[in-house]
Amino acid sequence: MKFHKTLTAIGALALTTALGSFAAQADYPEKPIKIYVGFSAGGGTDTTARAFASFLHESEGMNGMPAVVVNKPGGTGMIAAKIVKESRPDGYTLYMINSGTFSITDMKSFGKAPVKPLEDFQIIGCMSQLVTALQVPISSPIKSADDFAKWAKDNNGKIKWGNSGRGSMHTLAGMLFLKRMGIQSQDIPFKGGSGARNALAAEKVDFAFNGIHMAAGFESKIRVLGVTSSERDKVHPDVPTLGEAKMPNLGIVGPMCLWGSKDLPAEAVTKLGAAIKHVAGLKGYARLMKKQGLLAIHRSAEEGTAATKKLYTELRPVVEEVFAKK
């Protein structure tokens, strides 16, 4: 009798465990998802993550499970990335960052960064992107991208331009652009995009390479001449690409992506990928993003990975020049 009871208990236990693990696989997600952000609350990555997270549970495959944004600032996002890398690859601990920042932080560490973006992680999908723009003060005699090419040749060697820090994608894209144009210049790094914008609006520098969203609200002080991407930015359709103006077409953008461990269960990747596509297409999400001057755009895992690989191949020579190998 006793033996029988024990057996039933074991059987029941085994069954529930089996059911449990089966259920866990079939019913992903069964608990809230954590999205780590490597920057403080209120920044660009954080606001995108929060806008995204607030719509994620509405997506069909998500079982109504909410996503929670966890801020863990430090090491240009690498502290949070390391936490995600070291946690269980079960699809409940994910990471959000734009590929530009992630790949450059990896490249400039020359192998010392704790996480290798495309080796340790995979892109699940992307829901926004950072676009680099060439900007001048409104009082500048440079009115267009064509003017810029002429002016830069005439003043070669005497040019001073501002940027948001040497480790930023916008800066390195700018350096690559000037290099292709054969322009010698002095860059002046400021702390963050707003610092660079401030110096540009105060006419302390001739021009700046900065995120195009930084110009929103500053239309009376700043003129945007062109973007480094191959396509025009949908939030700013009037701004041409620099390629259109017969200047080097870099085709550089920084997709903002949701990343996870490379060992994530296939089901989680599929469901999350579909959820990203769903959220990126929502009007409410697009509205929240547009208010910040950011673009709601969907890029699949493959497209995001391709854009990230392009960042690596295009920017690596510039990174190696700026951050000389030691």
Partner 1 sequence: MLDIIGGFETLFSNPSALGFVFLAAFVGIVVGALPGLTASAAIAMLLPLSFHLGPLSALAFLYVIGKSGRYGGSIAAILFNTPGTAASAATMQDGYPMTQQGKAGKALKTATLASIVGDYIGEIILIFGAVSIAVYTSRFGPAEYFAIYFMAFVVIGSVVGKSVVKGILSTLLGAIVGLIGLDTITAEPRMTMGIAELEDGLALVPLLIGVFVVSEIIVQAERAAKQGLEESYKNRSDEPDDNRMTWDEFKRCVPLMFRSSLVGSFIGMMPGLGSSVACFVAYGEEKRRSKISDKWGTGIVEGIAAPESANNAVSGPSMIPLLTLGVPGSTVAAILIGVFLIHGIQVGPTLFTNPDSRELIFALFACGLLGIAAYGIIGYFGGPAIGRIIAYMPARLIYPFIFLTAIAASYSSRASVLDILIALIFGVIGYIMRRTDFSTAAFVIAFVLIEGAEEAFRQSLLLSNDGLLIFVKEPVSLAFLLLGAGVLVFRTISVLRSGKKSETTTEAATSS
**Residue 106 or residue 268: which is nearer to partner 1 going by CB?**
106
Taking the complex as a whole, how short is the minimal distance between the CB of residue 220 and partner 1, in angstroms? 5
Taking the complex as a whole, how short is the minimal distance between the CB of residue 318 and partner 1, in angstroms? 13
Taking the complex as a whole, how short is the minimal distance between the CB of residue 65 and partner 1, in angstroms? 16
| DSSP conformational letter for 293 | T
**Residue 160 or residue 262: which is nearer to partner 1 going by CB?**
160
Report how far residue 274's alpha carbon sits from residue 276's, in angstroms, rounded to the nearest whole number. Answer: 5
Binding site for partner 1 (CB under 8 A): 40-43, 46-47, 50-51, 54, 69, 71-76, 78-79, 82, 108, 112, 114, 160, 165-167, 186-191, 194-195, 197-199, 201-205, 216-221, 288, 291-293, 323
Pair 91, 122: CB distance under 8 Å:
no
Indicate the pairing of strand 185-189 with strand 93-98: unpaired
Indicate the pairing of strand 207-211 with strand 159-163: parallel
Compute the radius of gyration of the chain from its Cα atoms.
Answer: 23
Please state the φ and ψ torsions of residue 162, each to the nearest 5 degrees.
Answer: -105, 155
**Residue 2 or residue 325: which is nearer to partner 1 going by CB?**
325
Taking the complex as a whole, how short is the minimal distance between the CB of residue 128 and partner 1, in angstroms? 13
Give the three-class secondary structure for 34. Answer: strand
Pair 36, 96: CB distance under 8 Å:
yes
42's tokens = 């209120």
Taking the complex as a whole, how short is the minimal distance between the CB of residue 190 and partner 1, in angstroms? 7
Taking the complex as a whole, how short is the minimal distance between the CB of residue 248 and partner 1, in angstroms? 24
16's tokens = 């529930």
**Residue 114 or residue 248: which is nearer to partner 1 going by CB?**
114
**Residue 33 or residue 264: which is nearer to partner 1 going by CB?**
33
Q: What angle do CA 314, 105, 39 make, to 5 degrees?
A: 130
